[in-house]
Amino acid sequence: MEHVKPDGLEQSPPISVGDDIYALAARLFPIRRSITGDGVRRTLDVLSGHVALERHEVPSGTQVFDWTVPKEWIIRSASITGPDGQRVVDFADHNLHVVNYSVPYKGILPLDELRPHIHTLPGQPDVIPYRTSYYAPTWGFCMSYDRVSQLPDGLYRVEVDSELKDGSLTYGEYLHRGKTEREFLLSAHICHPSLANDNCSGLALLATLAKHLAARETRYSYRFLFAPGTIGAITWLSRNEDRTHLIDHGLVLSCVGDAGSPTYKRSRRGDAFIDRAMAHVLGHEAGAKVIDFSPYGYDERQYCSPGFNLPVGMFQRSVHGTFPEYHTSADNLDFIRPEHLADSFRILSEVIDIVEGDWTPLNLVPKCEPQLGRRGLYAALGGQKSQDATSMSLLWVLNLADGQHSLLSMAERSGLPFREIAAAATMLSDHGLLGDA
């Protein structure tokens, strides 16, 4: 890629960005979503108010590698009525009350025959679990264990007014065009209903990031993908296989709004530029973690499958499956906070700054240190026990600018933040001491 020296790194995002992301997540939270259907389309309608999405409809039955696009699921209502005529559970009260993709059913059952169709979490007796049956046709309900334990014996009227029909799978994408066709892919799953952290937070953050990036001139092109989990990513890869060679960097986002420490999961490659950039940024974050790739998780599994092996990692805060709110009704709007969403936004912004701002300089005065004092770059600090960050950044850049080290390499070697190294390189370049390698 042709080197384009950045004019300067983006300023820290405003604090209010967290409020904006939270407000968008709150709008997305009540929408009934699944891997197909009008809930996905309504979600894309909301996101389209923030970023100009291109929408794609892929017909049911379409072969996508070893998978087939499923029938579209329509859910109108679902309920259980007890022996006393009172509603025990009603889908209208909470989107998690019905097993996602439940087939239609209507009948009267005794409690002992109904129980196998009711999912609970005895270890968390006051929450509703989230369950799906995308590829194994069945019907079912999800309820709190406390509520189910109070049900009396007797006959229960069950109604699931749903439909599986030939329709389509829907996904949306937005391409922010940069100076080159080389791409940074940012992906979030759009299928989970009424789970705030997983993944209203990821959808809202990506839409907000795309909106901010739209006003910025970049050298990379940035592709934002909002697709159903697993089958959506597989479908996108199937339809875009001839363009995947353009992807130089990628991130999957989920669970980015809770109070947990930021966590990055490396790509399958393990040493891709995105792995290094994320590790560098999180290396300056208290409590942050970088974990190795594993073939379990979100859509990084598809992007990192051996036939593609794309440089795509995953960014989250609390690791999926490790916090008690995960895939339950406790993953609500109280579980995510604007300040954590803003922090996640800031981290991603810093990573984009590295992707945009990295270049390999060459010291034009390589024999001994150039005299920085007469250029106004270096205070007369001789004899002091320490040097300030700016001075150390200047010295590190001059020493490592041998044409073999990029700015990120310098930041990794020095332990200094990339932004300080980049600022020093700009100062030295402006004073005629650095050129392109």
- Detail the residues annotated as belonging to a binding site for Zn(2+): 192, 198, 327
Q: What is the distance between the alpha carbons of residues 165 and 340, in angstroms, rounded to a whole number? A: 40
First to last CA, the chain: 14
Cα 144 → chain centroid: 29
Q: What is the distance between the alpha carbons of residues 28 and 39, in angstroms, rounded to a whole number? A: 10
Token digits of residue 261: 């420490």
Cα 369 → chain centroid: 44
Of the candidates 339, 345, 333, which has an alpha carbon nearest to the alpha carbon of residue 205? 345
Of the candidates 221, 195, 197, which has an alpha carbon nearest to the alpha carbon of residue 210? 221
Give the Cα-Cα-Cα angle 129, 77, 193 (nearest 5 degrees): 40
Q: What is the distance between the alpha carbons of residues 115 and 122, in angstroms, rounded to a whole number? A: 14
Burial class (CB in 10 A: 0-12, 13-18, 19+), 90: middle
Do 162 and 73 touch, CB atoms closer than 8 A?
yes
Query: Residues annotated as binding site?
Result: 192, 198, 327
| Cα dihedral: 237, 243, 247, 252 (round 10) | -20
How many Cα atoms occupy the beta-carbon half-sphere of 31 within 13 Å?
A: 26
Of the candidates 421, 374, 376, which has an alpha carbon nearest to the alpha carbon of residue 395? 421
Q: What is the distance between the alpha carbons of residues 21 and 333, in angstroms, rounded to a whole number? A: 12
Q: What is the distance between the alpha carbons of residues 98 and 228, in angstroms, rounded to a whole number? A: 18
